[in-house]
Structure 1
């Protein structure tokens, strides 16, 4: 083995000591840290949206109906119409300067900061990169790059604070599928959900305190809006609902607030069946109708702002609140590349690298 901690020249591939002269050259062993997020279309035109939505909505972790029923509906009905409406939604938030979605921009920024933190501590022993479950850069391509770079161990980190089959599990599924294609399969670890990690809760609390300091009239209620899943998933054993509730409770305790000042809701329903309740879009209207005219909304289940926060919360949910008589609506951005968030994610990584570096 080679010590690649601080000498850049140690990145060079070479024959192992005592090996025959014709032995294939081997790069010094590294630990890969692969961050993973949901994904993004390459653009907001019809075909880019259709490719992305087809991959996303064909995932049985996301839509678990029988393919004999679901695929004809998806291919013949949903994917003929939805790419247009989804494309318009993406267009409204698109980062035109960099030609990418905000999720891509933010994930790149997060990765750059985490990479700088890890390399400052571990030097060339680590390689930090990111992938997307759907779209590009693919999980498969990034696993391949890490193996080619000499990563004999990979820490896979889905950037979801809470576990859900439709998020963390499907990201891990794709990671394991990529590993199946490797001749020399690296040792691997996956990072468990960090929804109750003290540094994550602290980062959330700080972001809310900063936002409240800037609001002239204190909101009557803070709505913690989490991405929804069908209620059936909870009944089948998915822990997501309970983990979301715990995050809200821990946040409330850290802020020192009363129960009446903070609530948990769920957004982004899809399809006809019942999802986790209360639904954010309905609950904000109810709040307005019952006299809560000033609210703030945050999205603790998202590590980065995306279509569900920038478009759905800031537009659809905001509109529902105002139409019901609400007067002051404040969206508190996700933690994104905030320093406290990067510190929390970096600490989670350190804890999971134990014995590897």
Structure 2
């Protein structure tokens, strides 16, 4: 049907000779131009598009590398004392020209290095016993990362297994296993830790045992909820009809479909475990001096905060950056593995 259109105020009649028929290639129109991506390839692509997650990954990588190599490359040890070099302010060559961390006392502005004729350079200064804070901070970061890895390991080995079995078998098995979790979560973690401290000395062993008992319950509940949702899906019922064993169903069909949520939960567990260790060490229930921990360093620096604030500020900044980077990365991973966020 021909029609008229208005062009520059004049009516123009549309005729057939004004149009040309374009040929259509069915093979070309049905061709898939977008490359096929697996779930993890697509998640990685979306993760690196998230600027916050990339920033968190860079900061985390830097802290991990410093925790791994800085204590080894330092000529000082974390527990070596030198009372003559006690409370020497930090002297960092990169920023010393700006009047920050230039080796001068914060109160009187005197060059402590020149007064005491100190030839060594303490990048982060020294504490009240003359121990190098640079080495102690990165050794403490190593301890914090180790505690975080312990928590993640317990989440994987105990939480995922417990939650998966509870949801898959259901019924009376699920009821009994969930009542056990309720009993465990009803006991405060500090009470459990205190009981282990009465048997063992305060330290990594006591915290690890406390987390082994109560730290995995959150992961178990998350895995249980997802497995309950998936176990009645058609692909699971089809595999069960074909004679697949329970172990194969859980391993091949259920766990791969909740692995994204497991990774996200682990990433949120890491900063919680780091804060848990720092808090316990700060109140005296964790690592004890002369062992280095970020919580121990903050506690030591708190005693001299008014006269030597760097002793507390430096480890506080490191632990804040560590927790901040893990939270940024966890948020990015949560968005990357969520199918609902795929087109956003």
Q: Which has the higher contact order (CA 8 A, sep 6+)?
A: 2
TM-score, normalised to structure 1, is 0.23
Question: Whose helix proportion is higher, 1 or 2?
Answer: 2
TM-score, normalised to structure 2, is 0.24
Question: Whose strand proportion is higher, 1 or 2?
Answer: 1
For the pair shown, the structure with the greater C-alpha radius of gyration is 2
